[in-house]
Amino acid sequence: MASELHPVVKLAKEAVESYVLRGKAPDPGELTPEMTERAGVFVSLHKHGGLRGCIGTFEPTQNNVAQEIITNAISSATRDPRFAPVDPSELGDLEYSVDILTEPELVTDIGELDHEKYGIIVEGGSRRGLLLPALEGVDSVEEQIAICRVKAGISSDEPVSLYRFEVRRFK
């Protein structure tokens, strides 16, 4: 790679490679300031431009962002139900993206949303669907909401609560 990976992305890559090759999570090492925070984190894996895995947490479940990255990177590589677990032969072809989420805030009007700036959570009862912001092929807030409804199994006529959040995206 020509450019040096951001420490957040490097940690996700190390976590996937360590787990796929040795079956264990790496030690996070020295933490950068953003890694010491507590926040929800999504780790996305891409291979040849296509999604290869994406798992994350809406809210923090670990002691810090570093642990959140390690846990979700391994899950993205091994537990995303849409894909077979990553094989060691694929490691050289993977690209990593890490999104650190702000705390979700309730939205009372659809006009408060922007599919490029905000990710959304659509909640109906105990079901929740989340979509990150600025995703290729998602061109409107209405499309974001529709995708979240499908992900959560919420029909288009069921009432829902909407939440928005921002991300710091590292690639």
Structural domains of the chain, ranges and CATH numbers in brackets: 7-101 (3.30.700.20), 105-166 (3.30.1490.150)
pTM of the model: 0.90
Per-residue pLDDT at 33: 92
pLDDT confidence of 94, banded at 50, 70, 90? very high
Mean pLDDT (whole number) for 2-31? 93
Q: Hey, what amino acid is at 25?
A: A
Task: Round to whole Å and give the CA distance between 70 and 44.
Answer: 12
Cβ distance 152 to 122 under 8 Å? yes
Q: Hey, what amino acid is at 50?
A: G
